[in-house]
Amino acid sequence: YAGTWLDDRRRWMRWSQRFLEEQRPRVLLVDREATRIPWIAAAQRAGIPVVSVQHGMIYPGTPEYCRPSGRGTVRPDRTCVFGPYERDILIDEGRYPRHQVCVTGSPRLDPDQAAVRDAPEARAAVRRELHVADGDRLLVVSVGHNAVGDLHAASWVARLLGGPLSGVHVVVKLHPQDRTGGGYERLLAGIAAAEGYPA
């Protein structure tokens, strides 16, 4: 990590610190905290509290959140997560202090809709919209949005689905910023053609 990478991080840190010292905000709000470390560190040096909002999914072992903690660890003063499942992972696996993790809900959920769990008519409507045949199981694959993530996800989808899955309807949930479709439909059709079964 020496050389240009470290020099770049140090430059961002100094720039962030200068900016925050000039502007003096009351609080710094960040998302995707793992890529905002220079900002978080600069704010903490300037005595500005940092609040982070959960970015994407948190699951056991998430590299962005579940990493070794120690003397050099930089974390926000508060991390807001979608629910108790994510909170427990940050506390248990990420070693976040309990008082620094707040459950604030997901911006994707309408609270009134979320309160109606597993309503049969809602499930049936989703299955109709996705053209899932009666009796088929639904497998949702959620993918990221970057060149490495797309390549990694495509590789794992190919390994996971490299054979006939009778009675399974696959849906790929793209990242909200993905405008290309990621080529997953072609990938699944190609896997099926190579293996000799219907897509």
Length of the chain: 199
Question: How many angstroms separate the CA atoms of 68 and 92, rounded?
Answer: 12
- Cβ–Cβ contacts within 10 Å for residue 187, how many? 17
The pLDDT of residue 120 is 80
CA distances from 160 to 3, 99, 126, 185 (A): 39, 39, 24, 15
Q: Which sign, positive or negative, has the C-alpha torsion 141, 142, 147, 152?
A: negative
Question: How many angstroms separate the CA atoms of 134 and 167, rounded?
Answer: 9
pLDDT in tens, the chain (199 residues): 577 888 888 888 889 999 999 999 999 999 888 888 889 999 999 999 999 999 888 888 888 888 777 777 889 999 999 999 999 999 999 999 999 999 998 766 655 555 555 678 888 888 999 999 999 988 887 777 665 556 666 677 777 766 677 788 888 888 777 777 767 788 888 888 887 887 7
The pLDDT of residue 79 is 95
- Provide long-range contacts, Cβ within 8 A and 24+ apart, for 43-51: 43/16, 44/74, 44/77, 45/17, 46/17, 46/20, 46/21, 48/20, 48/24, 49/77, 49/78, 50/76, 50/77, 50/78, 51/27, 51/76, 51/77, 51/78, 51/79, 51/80
The pLDDT of residue 129 is 93
The pLDDT of residue 117 is 59
Q: Is 42 exposed, middle or buried (0-12, 13-18, 19+ CB in 10 A)?
A: buried
